[in-house]
Structure 1
Amino acid sequence: MAAHTKATRRMLPALALVVGLVSFDFAFIAPGANPSRPAMPRLERAGPFPEQVDAGTSAPRARRAAAVAALALLVLVPRARAVEEMSDAAIAEAAKSLSNFEQRVLLEAATEPAFTGKTTNGYAWDNKEEGTYVSPISGQPLFSSKAKYNSGTGWPSFWAPVSSDTVLERTDPGDMDNLPKMFWRTEVLDRASGTHLGHVFDDGPPPTGKRYCINAAALKFVPGTAPEGDPKQASKWGPLSLFS
């Protein structure tokens, strides 16, 4: 009941906006409907726009009513969230099936030694099979084998995620606390669970110039047809300015 009341309160400003638009629309397109309200002047527009010049006709009235209805839907219907955030309890439950080291990587931002990593289901860091790398906590698709490349660093590397909706990027809080700004990195997390994946750098190959350097222990590999790599999903972050 409380959640329903809260949602209703959030919708009140939108309802007020729509009611105001509807009231304005009827006052404009049907000035003669209310004897106490003086007729409003017709629109003056260049060019032959009969539906705008003659505001009293039924056709423009229908068009405006339809436009108001469409706007009402746009305002009142909430946008579906691309990824639902997991609760702490759900994250803890999902982590129970992982090894202690995998939990340290995902939950405490530990880093696996280079050239040694394995996914949570046993695939080597340099796995070359086609498939999708998903979060072992949320199950969200994170990276495609079609965007994977050999960076020579010893960690799984990708030039873009499957979707910018499933990953979250931020300045690494640990770096901010312990390092000069010139050494701050951009951390990459699974958006649904907030768990640590790795970092993204600006020294990758075309088509994005990005290197998503990800711990294998933070991934689960699902073999099969992989989604095409999409450069538009890559990070928009650039090199950090030393003086910003």
Structure 2
Amino acid sequence: MHIKKNVVDNIIGTLLNIDSKSKDNLQACLDLKEMGLRPELHPIPKASDKTYLPPASFTMSYMEKDDLLRIIKNVKMPDGYASNVSCCVKPQKRTIKGMKSHDGHILMQQLLPIALRKSISKKVAESLIELSTFFREICSKTLRVEDLNRLESRIPNILCQLEMIFSPGFFTIMVHLTVHLVAESKLGGPVHYRWMYPVKRYLHRLKFHVRNKAAPEGSISKGYLLEELLTFCSH
């Protein structure tokens, strides 16, 4: 659950070039220069102590960012399927803020593959869509051993494709942990029996019962009792 959220934050932060979240920064370009990789992306010193960072293959223009954010903001989902992801989109600042774990889950598996098709180059979009497909298949309600074996052999290739696109700073420990998700599924079974999305949603529901912050437990118990009474009366 949190692995997917961190992977989504890396992707969105890097594509939209969000401050403090983008993995394509000066330090990443200096790392490439130190390792002798991708000379076309090495920083170029300019006058008055300024540095020019050449655009990478995944660098998006303002128009492409607007297209990506417009698709995510205008999406309509069934009631209860997900929270209002459009509230997290800030078109004026060209950023996405305030996403919860389940928002990242929906964004990675459902929205991102659609939004990237017309918003970025084909090579980058195909690699990210394959990563999204991997998460969607591993979160299926039914898992077969032959499918897991195929995914286990496929995920290293997907990460290698991403390594040829993104800078080394993109690959944090959370991105690396995607390699071990298949082995975890083989040991624990389908992930939807083990993740915490229903629990977190229920805790969020209880949080709304708090009216007196000096006594939160009493507010929750009173609100829960009233909800049970209304349910009983309605039956």
Structure 1 and Structure 2 fold alike (TM over 0.5): no
Query: What TM-score does the superposition give when structure 1 sets the normalisation length?
Result: 0.25
Query: What TM-score does the superposition give when structure 2 sets the normalisation length?
Result: 0.25
Q: Return the structure number with greater helix share.
A: 2
Rg (Cα) greater in structure: 1
